[in-house]
Amino acid sequence: MNCREYKGGLIELARGGEAFEAERHAESCPDCARFLDQQLVLTELQRTIAVDAAPPVDLEARLITEFVLSRRRPRRWARVAAGAVAAGAIAASLFFAWFERPKPAPKPVTARIQFPAPVPVAQAAPKPEPVRQRKHPKGRQEAEAPFLQIPYTQALEPWERAEVVRMEMPVAALIAAGFPVETADTTAEASADVIVGEDGRARAVRLISISERSIRR
Amino acid sequence: MELLRRFREGDRDAFTTIYRAHHPAVFRFALHMTCDRDKATEVTQEVFVWLIHHAEDYDPARGELGAFLFGVTRKFLQRSRRNESRFVPFDESFETSAPAPPDDSEAVELRRAIAALPERYREAVVLCDLEGKSYEEAAVLLECALGTVRSRLHRARELLGKKLRAQQRCSV
């Protein structure tokens, strides 16, 4: 064994352990003896610095305060649970708000209606009965109001297909077509069902309602 | 176990007992590793604040509370070093903590020499020589083999011996 291999034993010897071979070697080797002395000094110095050291006295008070406060605060899992509940409530309210949102109004059905040119009332074929609005419940009125043929239009053939389109139109247009609408407000809007033939021309009209302000009482 | 149960339930006296039993070892280890009293105080505080908020993380079946706290202290020291390494002082001579009073005693020189050792050697010296842990205990705490602890300690002591001898020559 050379000196290097004895160093481990010498260190253990200096630390208070047992290393007989290293000790015997140090007795005959000046370098290893010096190394052992140096390690013994180191061990002695280490004992002087390994004294009890204590942190500042107020650290204990600070930590006890933190401990007491931490037990008053909600625990971490409680905070997480509260957060999860709040998030769930927000998500649920958003979900229901989305489903309960007001539905967009259906787009008005538009149709191109060509009214015939106004004709003198005397020439018009059978004069329809004037329509009086809001004297009956709505459903009943709709059932009772007949479709009136628009003057000077070709009647629908039996095989011809037609569409019924509900639309808003100015009362003035109805009056011009020869319908007896009793209203002083010619700018009012009337709601009516219109039968439209395959050629896109209006053939008959059934008045549904007129805006309130235009009805003459 | 009873003390730990009371501590977890919020018993203030139980926490005080635990603190008084374990804070000297935690503080000493931090002091030897940092060679700075302020930093050691800060690390000690962080360790016990962490324990307050993570009392459930300690499993008595896996070891003693002292060893557990030592592991926590080690983590905080490593974090502290990482944070410090991000900053560079304006001046090389600038010292972040209050300078120690001039003292040429060998004990102070030894403290500085230990603080200048590489971390793995420093831990071995602090645990085995200054804290009096056995190689087996140190191996468990440092999570390495027993032979590794011994070789690190021997290497550290050789380095310390050389430094002290060099200082003795300078003083002569």
| pLDDT > 80? residue A182 | no
Distance from CA of A21 to the nearest CA of B (A): 17
Between B73 and B63, where is the model more confident?
A: B73
Of A190, A179, A173, A176, nearest to A130 (Cα)?
Answer: A179
For residue B93, the cross-strand partners are none
For residue A68, give the chain B residue with the closest CA: B12
Residue A208 has pLDDT above 90, yes or no: no
State both tokens at B125: 């010296």
Question: Percentage of chain A with pLDDT > 90?
Answer: 3
Query: What are the tens digits of pLDDT across the range B123-162?
Result: 999 999 988 889 999 999 898 999 999 999 999 999 998 8
**A vs B: CB pairs below 8 A:** 88
β-pair type (A148-149, A163-170): unpaired
Q: What is the pLDDT of residue B157?
A: 93
- Residue A101: per-residue pLDDT: 72
Give me A186's structure tokens.
């010619």
Strand partners, B87: none
Which one is predicted more confidently, B32 or A104? B32
Q: How high is the pLDDT of residue A193?
A: 87
> Both tokens of residue B65?
């509370």
pLDDT of residue A139: 41
The share of chain B scoring above pLDDT 70, in percent, equals: 87
Phi/psi region, residue A152 (left: phi>0; alpha: psi -120 to 50; beta: rest), is: left
Residues whose CB is less than 8 angstroms from the CB of residue A153 and which lie 6 or more positions away in sequence, other chains included: A116, A201, A202, A203
Which residues of chain A approach chain B closer than 8 Å at the C-beta?
7-8, 11, 14-15, 35, 38-39, 41-43, 45-46, 48-50, 52-56, 59-60, 62-64, 66-68, 70-71, 76
Q: Is A212 exposed, middle or buried (0-12, 13-18, 19+ CB in 10 A)?
A: exposed
Burial B14-36 (b: 16+ CB within 10 A, else e): bbeebbeebbebbbbbbbbbbbb
pLDDT-based confidence at A214, cuts 50/70/90? very low
Helix (H, G, I), strand (E, B) or coil at A206: strand
Q: Is B157 on the interface with A (CB under 8 A)?
A: yes
Average the pLDDT over A172-182 and give the result: 78
Preferred mutation among B48, B56, B155 to probe A, highest tally of A CBs within 10 A: B48
Q: What is the pLDDT of residue B48?
A: 94
The model's pLDDT over B43-64, given as tens digits with 9 standing for 90+, comes to 999 999 999 999 888 888 888 8
Domains contained in chain B, CATH given? 1-100 (1.10.1740.10), 102-172 (1.10.10.10)
- pLDDT of A213: 53
* Distance of alpha carbon B88 from alpha carbon B90, whole angstroms: 6
Interchain pair B130, A50: CB under 8 A = yes
pLDDT in tens, A56-89: 888 888 898 888 888 776 666 777 888 888 888 8
B49 part of contact set with chain A, CB < 8 Å: yes
Q: What is the tens place of the pLDDT at every residue in A116-163?
A: 555 444 444 455 555 454 444 444 444 457 888 887 787 777 778 888
Helix, strand, or coil here: A211?
coil
| Radius of gyration of chain B measured on its C-alpha atoms | 18
Question: Quick one: pLDDT at residue B126?
Answer: 92
Choose the closest CB to B45 out of A39, A62, A76. A62
Asked whether the beta carbons of residue A11 and residue B154 sit closer than 8 angstroms, the reply is yes
Identify the pLDDT of residue A138: 46
Residue A192 — φ and ψ, nearest 5°? -145, 155
Residues B164, B169, B172, CA angle at the centre, nearest 5°?
Answer: 125
Please state, in angstroms and rounded to a whole number, the distance separating the CA atoms of residues B7 and B15: 5
Q: Reduced to 3 DSSP states, what percent helix, strand and coil does chain B have, rounded to the nearest 5?
A: 75, 0, 25
The SS3 assignment for A91 reads helix
Q: Is B95 helix (H, G, I), strand (E, B) or coil?
A: coil
Report CA dihedral (B103, B105, B106, B108) to the nearest 10 degrees: -30
Are the C-beta atoms of B89 and B96 separated by less than 8 Å? Answer: yes
Residue with tokens 């009805």: A215
Does the structure's ipTM exceed the value 0.85? no
Contacts of A76 in chain B (CB under 8 A): 53
DSSP secondary structure string, B13-29?
Answer: HHHHHHHHHHHHHHHHH
Mean pLDDT check: name the lowest of A100-109, A117-126, A168-177. Answer: A117-126
Nearest CA in chain A to B9: A71
DSSP single-letter state for residue A155: P
Contact A60 B150 (CB under 8 A): no
Exposed/middle/buried for residue B6 (C-beta within 10 Å: 0-12, 13-18, 19+): middle
Q: How far apart are CA A112 and CA A107, in angstroms?
A: 16
